[in-house]
Amino acid sequence: MKQVLIVDDVPAMAEQYAYDLKRVGRYQTSVVAGGEAALDVLAREPIDCVILDLEMPGIDGFEVLRRMHQRGIDTPVIVYTGAGSYDRCVQAVRLGAYGFVDKAEPIERIVQEIENAVSRGQLVGELRSLRSRVEGDQSLIGDSGPMRSLREAIARVAPIPSTVLIVGESGTGKELVARELHRQGPGEKTPLVAVNSGALPEHLVESELFGHERGAFTGADRLRKGAFENAGSGTLFLDEIGELPLAAQAKLLRVLEDRKVMRVGGDRAVPMTARVVAATNRDLEREVEGGRFRQDLFYRLNVHMLRVPSLRERPTDIPALVEHLLRAIATHLGVRPKAIAPEAVALLAGYDWRKNNVRELRNCLERMLIASSATVIRADDVPPDIRGEREDDASDEPGAAGTLKALKAEAEREIVVAALEKHGWQVTRTAEALGLADHSSLLKVMRRHGLRKPA
Ligand SMILES: Nc1ncnc2c1ncn2[C@@H]1O[C@H](COP(=O)(O)OP(=O)(O)OP(=O)(O)O)[C@@H](O)[C@H]1O
Ligand SMILES: [Mg+2]
């Protein structure tokens, strides 16, 4: 049976709708009175369609649509409003609503609209799951300032054929950035060939990159094309470029300069048409100083540099990443997705992911997803090492806008407000849920943000 969620701050209206929809459409219905509660239910329950009122106090219908989009929740939504607000409905559709109905319309028409929305929702879902099975889960999540600048930079350099160097700490998403460059650049109809320079034994690196002729060396019993040739006019992604042996560095430089590849043991040059993207988590300038990386190659690669921010520079992205990764992990493992309590998200957002950034967060979520027996992952399920290592950053001066400190403060404020709202602004209970020492620690934080219980 299809599940329909009705969101309306006027209970009588919502209950009447629920009753009619149950009777005429044979749906299972549930009712909530506000945007916050709606988002909660959507994160937790398999809802097939939402009937959403636009005018509500607090988080209104528009904001619900915005947040659903941010969190990647694609349950179809039908907005309903009183007569005469056509413009607002159009605006809602722009924000992702499937359609709109007038509160005065006969219930049969609304049932029809729900049926249409659900079947389109199913198509979209099937397409998405097919796509994610084919290409893995590859969207770059995050709406923080640093991620927005990164996305802009990607869009700027993607169409340019020059070499791009992607730098950033381990696990920050460099490979995702390379895929995005490919998607927006040469495009998905062309190949993306990835070579991990660090994973190959030294004597195979050159043959892997440039190919070899038959008989070029012992064991080369057949001609083999290299990654440059295989990439055609697509993208060649040289991952962990900092690990490339010096001899191969010299050959790579020559290929980039001549735009021609010569197979190992060969005497005929093949034109090179691929766009080259390289990535490293090493500080290449230091590697150059230390004589481990050729300076000329560094300059040749470093035409455009994209720096992927660490997770510490964008803590406000953590809640959205958590939701996205939990869903991706569940799909990957073939298990039912679980929701996560805001207190647990708060603990994750408070941790300093300096070891492995998003990869470390992903691994942690996978462990939590498997370890938790309930349908909702709770604060208790957060591993103790992550719960314990909260940073003490409680000095009173606010940071300048956009700095790590300001972003952290912003994230902290959001998390604390969400937790307070969830616990009806009961300070002691909220402090407990957030894992703070006592209620006075929470009061201190609230004072710092000028937070007080709404009248
Ligand atoms: N912005 C993001 N949105 C969604 N998933 C992300 C994001 N950044 C990283 N990930 C996920 O985190 C994991 C690590 O990302 P990736 O492999 O691209 O990191 P990397 O920078 O190449 O790391 P390394 O230097 O260790 O090779 C992957 O599972 C990736 O899907
Ligand atoms: Mg990588």
- pLDDT 10s digit of each residue in the chain, 455 long? 899 999 999 988 899 999 999 999 999 999 999 999 999 998 888 899 999 999 899 999 999 999 988 777 889 999 987 766 778 888 898 888 998 888 888 899 999 999 999 988 777 766 666 655 555 566 899 999 999 999 999 999 999 999 999 999 999 999 999 999 999 999 888 999 999 887 777 778 888 999 998 887 877 778 888 999 999 999 999 999 999 999 999 999 999 999 999 998 988 899 999 999 999 999 999 999 999 999 999 999 999 999 999 999 999 999 999 999 998 888 877 778 888 999 999 999 989 898 899 999 999 999 998 888 888 899 989 998 888 744 444 444 556 667 777 788 888 888 999 999 988 888 888 988 888 877 878 888 888 888 888 77
Query: For the chain, how big is the Rg over CA atoms in Å?
Result: 27
Residue 82 alpha carbon to ligand 2 centre in Å: 52
Q: How far is CA 199 from CA 24, 25, 287, in A?
A: 61, 58, 18
Q: Is the CB of residue 281 below 6 angstroms from any atom belonging to ligand 1?
A: yes
Q: What is the helix (H) or strand (E) element at residue 306, kind and residue range?
A: strand 304-307
What CATH number labels 3-135?
Answer: 3.40.50.2300
To test the pocket of ligand 1, the residue of 151, 176, 196 to mutate (highest count of ligand atoms within 8 Å of its CB) is 176
Q: Mutation test of ligand 1: which of 172, 241, 306, 357 has the most ligand atoms closer than 8 Å to its C-beta?
A: 172
In angstroms, the CA 211 to CA 48 distance is 52
3-state secondary structure at position 374: coil
Q: What integer pLDDT is reported at residue 395 of this predicted model?
A: 45
CB of residue 309 inside a 6 A radius of ligand 1? no
The number of the ligand 1 atom at minimal distance from the alpha carbon of 281 is 25
Q: Is 166 in the pocket of ligand 1 (CB under 6 A)?
A: no
Q: How far is the first Cα of the chain from the last one, in angstroms, to the nearest whole number?
A: 41
Asked if 75 and 30 count as a contact pair (C-beta separation under 8 A), the reply is no
- The DSSP 8-state label assigned to residue 398 in this structure reads P
Distance of alpha carbon 24 from alpha carbon 363, whole angstroms: 46
SS3 365: helix
186 lines ligand 1 (CB under 6 A): no
- Number of C-beta neighbours around residue 219 at 10 A: 10
| 132 CB within 6 A, ligand 1 | no
Quote the ligand 2 centre to 279 CA distance (angstroms): 7
Domain with CATH 3.40.50.2300 in the chain: 3-135
Query: What per-residue confidence (pLDDT) applies to 397?
Result: 52
Q: What is the pLDDT of residue 138?
A: 67
Element (H, E) at 366: helix 357-371
Q: Is the CB of 142 under 6 A from ligand 1?
A: yes
| Pocket lining: 145 vs ligand 1, CB cutoff 6 Å | no
pLDDT at 170 (0 to 100): 93
Cα 280 to ligand 2 centre (Å): 8
- Asked if residues 49 and 2 have their Cβ atoms less than 8 Å apart, the reply is yes
**Closest Cα to atom 25, ligand 1: which residue?**
170
Residues of the chain with CATH 1.10.8.60: 313-448
Ligand nearest to the CA of 325: 1
pTM above 0.85, yes or no: no
| Residue nearest atom 26 in ligand 1 by C-alpha distance | 170
Strand 211-212 versus strand 224-225 pairing type: antiparallel
At 368 the pLDDT is 92
Which atom of ligand 1 has the smallest separation from the CA of 175? Answer: 18
**Cβ(173) – ligand 1 distance below 6 Å:** yes
CATH of 145-309 among 3.20.20.80, 3.40.50.300, 3.40.50.970, 3.30.530.20: 3.40.50.300
Q: Are residues 103 and 13 in contact, defined by beta-carbon separation less than 8 angstroms? A: yes
- Cα separation of 282 and 275, whole Å? 22
Q: Which atom of ligand 1 is nearest to the CA of 358?
A: 12
pLDDT at 442: 86
Q: Look at residue 377 and give its three-state secondary structure.
A: strand
Ligand nearest to the CA of 167: 1
Structure confidence at residue 83 (pLDDT)? 60
Indicate whether residue 323 lines ligand 1 (CB < 6 A): no
Please work out whether the CB of residue 175 comes within 6 Å of at least one atom of ligand 1: yes
Which atom, in ligand 1's list, is nearest to the CA of 324? 4
Q: Which residue has the tokens 């021609």?
A: 260
Residue from 141, 179, 358 to probe ligand 1 pocket by mutation (most atoms less than 8 Å from CB): 358
Ligand 1 contacts CB of residue 168 (under 6 A): yes
387 lines ligand 1 (CB under 6 A): no
pLDDT at 130: 65
Range(s) of the chain covered by CATH 3.40.50.300 = 145-309
What is the structure's pLDDT at 243? 92
Q: Look up the CATH number of domain 313-448.
A: 1.10.8.60
Ligand at shortest distance from the CA of 176: 1
